[in-house]
Copies of this chain bind each other. A is one copy, B any other.
Amino acid sequence: MSFDVASVAAELQAALAPDRVSDTDANRTLHGHGESYHPTAPPDLVVWPVSIDEVVAVVTICGRHRAPIVPFGAGTSLEGQVCAIEGGVSVDLSRMNKILRVSVEDMDVTVEAGVTRLQLEQVLRPEGVFFPVDPGADATVGGMVSTGASGTTTVRYGAMRENVVSLTVVTAAGEVVRTRSRARKSSAGYDLTRLFVGAEGTLGIVVEATLKIHPTPEAMSAAVAAFPGLSEAVDCVVQTLQNGIPMARIELLDAVQLDAINRRYDLGYVAAPTLFLEFHGSPREVAEQAELVEEIARELGALTWASTSNATERNRLWEARHHAHEATLALRPGARTVVTDVCVPISRLQECIEATEVDLATSGLVAPLVGHVGDGNFHLALLVDPADPEEVGRAKELAETLARRAIALEGTCTGEHGVGYGKSKFLPLEHGEGGVRLMRAIKDAFDPDGIFNPGKLFAA
Contact B194 A198, beta carbon cutoff 8 Å: no
Knowing A176-B434, A244-B214, A430-B181, the reply to whether A158 touches B162 (Cβ < 8 A) is: yes
Tell yes or no: A147 within 8 A of B by CB. Answer: yes
Nearest-CB distance from A376 to chain B (Å)?
Answer: 6
Whether the pair B188, A217 counts as a contact (CB closer than 8 A) is no
Q: Do A184 and B215 touch (CB < 8 A)?
A: no
Q: How far is the CB of A319 from chain B (nearest CB, A)?
A: 25
Distance A20 CA – B189 CA, assembled complex (angstroms) = 32
- Select A416's contact among B171, B185, B434, beta carbons within 8 Å: B185
A386 to B195, CA, bound (A): 40
- B187, A415: Cβ atoms closer than 8 Å: yes
Which B residues touch A192, using CB under 8 A? 431, 435, 438-439
Q: Check if A181 sits within 8 Å of B288, measured CB to CB.
A: no
Known: A181-B430, A411-B183. A103 touches B347 (CB 8 A): yes
**Contact of A22 with B by CB under 8 A:** no
Please pick, from B191, B341, B411, the residue contacting A197 in the complex, using a CB distance under 8 A.
Answer: B191
Give Cα distance in the complex from A214 to B242, angstroms: 8
Contact partner of A343 (CB less than 8 A), chosen from B175, B184, B244, B345, is B184
| Alpha-carbon distance between A105 and B181 when the two chains are bound, in angstroms | 36
* A303 CB–B CB distance under 8 Å: no
Q: Assembly of this chain: how many copies?
A: 2
Question: Is B346 a contact of A106 with CB atoms below 8 Å?
Answer: yes
A57 located at the interface, meaning its Cβ lies under 8 Å from any Cβ of chain B in the complex: no
Query: What's the Cα separation between A89 and B280 when bound, in Å?
Result: 52
Tell whether, in the assembled complex, residue B435 and residue A177 are in contact, meaning their CB atoms are under 8 Å apart: yes
Select the stretch in A8-16, A263-271, A359-367, A440-448 that faces chain B.
A440-448
Give complex CA distance A158, B162 in Å. Answer: 9
Which of A36-44, A59-67, A330-338, A418-426 forms contacts with chain B? A418-426
What is the distance, in angstroms, from A148's C-beta to the closest C-beta of chain B? 4
Cβ contact of A432, chosen from B178, B344, B347, B427, cutoff 8 A: B178
Tell me whether A195 and B198 are in contact (CB under 8 A). no
Answer yes or no: A159 CB below 8 A from chain B CBs.
Answer: yes
What residues on B are CB-neighbors of A444 within 8 Å?
445
A residues near B (Cβ < 8 Å) are 103-108, 147-150, 154, 158-159, 161-162, 171, 173, 175-192, 194-195, 197-199, 203, 214-218, 238, 241-244, 246, 281-282, 284-285, 288, 341, 343-347, 375-377, 406-407, 410-419, 423, 426-427, 430-432, 434-439, 441-446, 457
- The 6 nearest A-B residue pairs measured at CB: A215-B244, A194-B194, A175-B434, A148-B187, A441-B445, A186-B412
- What are 19 A-B residue pairs whose CB atoms fall within 8 Å in the complex? A104-B242, A106-B346, A149-B187, A177-B438, A178-B431, A180-B412, A181-B407, A182-B411, A183-B343, A183-B377, A187-B414, A187-B419, A189-B431, A189-B457, A190-B203, A194-B194, A215-B242, A215-B243, A284-B284
